[in-house]
Amino acid sequence: MRHPHPVRVVLRYVVIILAALMFAFPFYFMVVGAFQDNPTNTPDKLLPTSGWTIENFVETNSRIDLLQSLCNSLIFVGGVLLGTVVFGLLAGYAVSCLDFRGRGGVWVLMLLVQMIPFQLLMIPLYVQITRSYGLGDTYIGMILPFLINTTAVFIFAQFFKALPRSIFEAARIDGAGEIRILWTIAIPLVRPALVTAILVTFIGPWNEFLWPFLITKDTSMQPLAVSLANFIASVSTSMANPNGAILAGATVLAFPVIVLFCVFQKYFQTTNIGAATKG
């Protein structure tokens, strides 16, 4: 086996490190600016030695309740994730592992739904949920349009299709039902798909501000992204340090996403599917 030349190895790591620094710099600037008493458009030092303060967070919290808005975001995203995982696993397993009439049509319909931007459906969904269902100013009204995610169904279906059919056939011969096969055999083997679907689904609703704003004007129910959008548009310009306040709010919004990715990034690996079968 030929080993790569040391110079190529060094260049590869240099390129990777530079790319990582380029992607990480906006987050660094956001965090540093959030704790600075007078953040500028371009930092004069990589690590400022003076001017550190938490007043930006205090000022932002005085205009919008960061903790309440954060709890609203967790309720909103938690409901979306629950529906995504439950319905995504069931639908993905059905279209990939079960034989039923119309399965191909369901698959094509799901792909067509992915081609339609959510913004085109927003107005009819708003009328349907608020007037027909009477779910305005409720968490259910915010969660319902995102309860089934076709992207998650597609991810689960593709992973289920990669599993050996002999595993399911052996389980059926032993008398296992489809729900038991899904719970005890299929799901443990597609853990990377589960983590991927959770992260992809989490980022969208967490940053969504237009739909929750349409559903409720009650500030006590609005997620953090909506509260920050209203704050930036109307209140931040009247503050002594508007840039620091905006960066402080953005830091609070980005922190859970970064933590979630750091916790689950180790699961982004290929499962040892081949070990499940003999021969």
pLDDT tens digits for range 8-21 = 888 888 999 999 88
Q: Is the dihedral of CA 34, 38, 44, 45 positive or negative?
A: negative
pLDDT band at 198 (very low <50, low <70, confident <90, very high): confident
Instruction: Considering only CA atoms, give the Rg of the chain.
Output: 24
pLDDT number for residue 275:
40
**What tens digit of pLDDT does each residue of 145-183 get?**
898 888 888 889 888 888 888 888 888 888 888 888 888
pLDDT number for residue 202:
87
- Residue 257: strand, helix, or coil: helix
In the chain, the DSSP E strands lie at: none
The domain segmentation of the chain, as residue ranges, is 6-53, 66-276
In the predicted model, is pLDDT for residue 276 greater than 50?
A: no
pLDDT number for residue 40:
61
pLDDT number for residue 46:
62
Q: Token match 């110079």: residue?
A: 7
Whether the model clears a pTM of 0.85, i.e. scores above it, the answer is no
pLDDT number for residue 274:
43
- Tell me the backbone φ, ψ of residue 226, rounded to 5 degrees: -70, -45
Q: Token match 């919004």: residue?
A: 253
Share of the chain above pLDDT 90, in %: 13
Q: How far is residue 169's CA from residue 156's CA, in Å, rounded to a whole number?
A: 19
CA 8 to mean position of chain CA atoms: 36
Q: How far is residue 40's CA from residue 51's CA, in Å, rounded to a whole number?
A: 12
**What tens digit of pLDDT does each residue of 87-98 get?**
989 988 988 888
pLDDT number for residue 185:
86
pLDDT band at 277 (very low <50, low <70, confident <90, very high): very low
57 or 39, which is more confident: 57
pLDDT number for residue 279:
42
Q: Tell me the CA end-to-end span of the chain in Å, nearest whole number.
A: 27
Kind plus residue range of the DSSP H or E element containing 193: helix 191-207
**What is the topology classification, in CATH, of domain 66-276?**
MetI-like fold (1.10.3720)
Share of the chain above pLDDT 70, in %: 88
